[in-house]
Structure 1
Amino acid sequence: SVNISRTDRYGLPQLRVRHVYSERDERQARILVETARDILRESGALFSVTKPIRTFSHALGTVRMGDDALTSPLDGWGRYRGIENLFVVDGSALPRSAGLNPSLTIAANALRIGSYAAGNTISTAGGAQRARRIRRHLPTMSLS
């Protein structure tokens, strides 16, 4: 909403933004959590932890990807250096902001890394079978 009688420090009408999650939003969030738990369980996770997030901020660059191991804990595939099969696919892997909402970039990068991880790095006992089960959850994508 806009309050014409109140202005900000630049003399512009004061904006008030209020966001409310719909029942559909809440249902989709529950489905997302359940699907993520299924994937984690099938890949051998012993437990998972969820925490509700009620913010629109996008933390970026806290565990950045890059070529230089001195400045980037992750390689270009989002793999944590020194720990096989540990990947970071959220916004923290992105080295910096492009000045735009990063949601689609984060999603595309997560799909890219997930496809790579499912196809190339599962080497533990039973890993190939788990990788096939995980691939069922990944959308078909072409990088060409």
Structure 2
Amino acid sequence: AEVTAAAVAEREYFELLDEGGYAFIRCSPARGDADVHAGADGAVAAAAAAAAAQAQRWMDRGMLLAWGFNHEEALHCFAKARSVPGVGAACRAMAHWASAYALCPNYNNPCMTAGELRTAAWHNATALELLTPSAARGAGGGE
């Protein structure tokens, strides 16, 4: 299934924020991703929101490192963002996309090895797979 802009907007996979001329991408739980439960004190807590916040810190760190041309360390941060327990499929998809971005040619590394190309293609394919509505439904709306 093809991922369309409407499907992405409907699921609220991520938010694009424009802050003073800078664009930021924020992971946010998609509708249905939040594991809402009553805590011991009766308050409602969203476990997915906490996981998304932790993944967001790793994404922010990774993007700053990538923008500073420290792609190797950025890849480590994106891997950490993907591995946060309870993080939704949307955040994992963003982290896969960011890994592909960090592997691509840049000012300091204008060439891309065959291995980097295969790995970047795998990250992009995995991101798209995570964003397909059927994948989200099969995972109960998010993981």
Give 1 or 2: higher helix fraction: 2
TM-score, with length taken from structure 1: 0.33
TM-score, with length taken from structure 2: 0.33
More contact order relative to length (CA 8 Å, sep ≥ 6): 2
Larger Rg: 1
